Structure 1
C-alpha cells in the first residue's frame, strides 16, 4: 500500500490533531516544554485553520500519517507550518514529499508567491537538515524562551524560464 497525499477534509480533523500531538512529543521533550502550541491546540482552533489555510494530509490506507499547512500572505510570502509525520513513517522521504506538495499547492493558488518561509527550533537538527535539502536557507533566529530559539528559513521561488526567442 502506498502513501497518498491529498487535501484534508473535515473528517480528517481529529486524526490530524492526534497525529500532531504524537509527532510533537519529541519536540516537547527536546526543549523540555510540553506547553508548545502544537500540543495544546484545540479541535476548534484546528477547524478554523482548515477553513482558511491549505491543509494537506498523507494517508496510508485510511490512516493519516502526515500533515502540513500553508497559506500566502499579502506580501507574497507563503508560510508553511505544522509539517508532521508519524514517527514510524519518518526517515522515508514523506516529510519532503509533503513539503513539495504544499509548495506546489500554494504556487497554484490565487496569490502570487515570491518565497516560502517556515521555522523550526534551533535544536531540531533533523528538521534543519530536511529543510536544507529542500532548498531552504536560514534568514534569522528569534529567542522565544530561554531554552528555545526559532530558526527562520526561506526558499525563494524560482522565476519561470523565459521562452526561447
Structure 2
C-alpha cells in the first residue's frame, strides 16, 4: 500500500465513502483516539525520515562517528531520554545503518575491479572480507594524506586471497606473488 502524507485526508475520504455506501445508516463517527494515533504515526514517519537524512549527512562527514555524535542526533531529533529503551533501539539501528553505508561504499569502490570475478566463490572463500578491510585501510590512509607507499604496504591484507574469476580459470589467483 502506498504511504500517505496526509492521514487526515484518508480519514475524510473513508468517511465520505462510508456515507455513500450506506445512506440510510447513521454517519460513522471517527474515534478521536484513532485520529490522534494516525497523526502520531504521521509525525513518527516524519521523524524517521529526518533521522535517515541526518544519519546520511553524518556518514558523509565521518564514516565512523563516535557514539556521542549519534546520541546527540537521536536526542535532537526524537527528544528521547538518552538511556531510554527507545533511544537505545535507535542507537543500535543507527550503528547498523552506518555499517551498511560503509559496506556499500566499500563494495562500490571495488565494483569496477570485481566485474570479472565470481562473487559467490569470492564470498565463500572469505576474500571479500579481506578486500573490504583493504579498502577501509586505504580510505584511512588517503583521508589525511595521499601516501602511495603506505597503500602499497597494505598488500599483506590481500596477497594471500583467492579471487575466483567468473570464467572459472582463476589465472590471477594461481599466480605466485
TM-score where L is the length of structure 1: 0.23
Radius of gyration: which is bigger?
A: 2
- TM-score if structure 2 supplies the norm length? 0.22
Which has a greater percent of helix? 2
